[in-house]
Amino acid sequence: MKYTVITGASSGIGYEAAKRLAKAGKSLVLVARRTDELEKLRKEIKSISPDSDVILKTNDLSYSENVYALYESLADLDIETWINNAGFGDSNFVKDAEVGKMENMVRLNVEALTVLSNLYVRDYHDVDGATLLNVASVVGYHIAKKGVTYSATKFYVSAYTEGLARELMNNGDKLRAKVLAPAATETGFASRAREEENFDYSQNVEKYHTAEEMAGFLMELLESDEVVGIVNHEDYSFELRGPIHPFMK
């Protein structure tokens, strides 16, 4: 049995992507901090695809030891797709940002993603059909006002994943690496970034996608031969394309 791993699966894009993958008959490993939300998602998936196996892993990936423990706990599984979706942002000027929160954000958005990606590439680089998908952001290509540190973490994700994709292709490896770059998406992201409960996108954001729409874009990227799936920040169209960052040979 082959599995798809999704980190940050308890809400938002990860939650909706899990349901879309279940409709495609995939078995899943769902990773998040909130066990109750994971249990809720497992029930939904079982109603969609009773034959899909669903493994839950309650894990806070902002701690390095938990990152390695998660990967080691999945050693006996055949993982065809790994989706690094876990992450969070901040909406403050650098001078106003809480340093501890920035530290946790870098650990989760950058360190955990890098370790899990490297471990997966080490084990699956020459496996037919293996895919690594890392979720960045449109602000991993355009720096956001009041989000400089968050943008920097997502610039890392986009550059790292695009570079990895080219490296794998140049080496003739079989694993594919892809990067998804959403723009504003109706999830719990803004509430956590702004530290205000129940942020209302319809009242505060001119353009945005729903989590369901972004999950659909994620599926399009997985099924395509392209490396990048990015939302155009001006008209909010979704584009599949090759790498954007220059690559020095």
- pLDDT at residue 197 greater than cutoff 90: no
Q: Indicate whether 192 belongs to any domain.
A: no
* CA–CA dist 144, 141 (Å, integer): 9
Domain that holds residue 153: 2-183+211-241
Q: Indicate whether 155 belongs to any domain.
A: yes
Q: Indicate whether 247 belongs to any domain.
A: no
Q: pLDDT by residue (tens digit) across 24-78?
A: 999 999 999 999 999 999 999 999 999 999 999 999 999 999 999 999 999 999 9
What pLDDT was estimated at residue 99? 94
Q: Indicate whether 198 belongs to any domain.
A: no
Number of domains in the chain: 1
* CA–CA dist 63, 67 (Å, integer): 7
Question: Tell me, what CATH number does 38's domain have?
Answer: 3.40.50.720
* pLDDT mean across residues, the chain: 93
Q: Indicate whether 136 belongs to any domain.
A: yes
Please give the model's pTM, rounded to 2 decimal places.
Answer: 0.92
Q: Indicate whether 199 belongs to any domain.
A: no
Q: Indicate whether 197 belongs to any domain.
A: no
- In order, the DSSP letters of the chain are -EEEEEESTTSHHHHHHHHHHHHTT-EEEEEES-HHHHHHHHHHHHHH-TT--EEEEE--TTSHHHHHHHHHHTTTSEEEEEEE-------S-GGGS-HHHHHHHHIIIIIIHHHHHHHHHHHHTT-TT-EEEEE--GGGTSPPTT-HHHHHHHHHHHHHHHHHHHHHHHHT-S-EEEEEE--SEESSHHHHHHT-TT--HHHH-SS-EEHHHHHHHHHHHHHSS-SEEEE-TTT--EEEES--S----
Residues 6 or more apart from 148 whose CB is under 8 A from it? 93, 94
Q: pLDDT by residue (tens digit) across 67-88?
A: 999 999 999 999 999 999 999 9
What pLDDT was estimated at residue 190? 52
Confidence of residue 248 (pLDDT cuts 50, 70, 90): confident
Q: Indicate whether 124 belongs to any domain.
A: yes
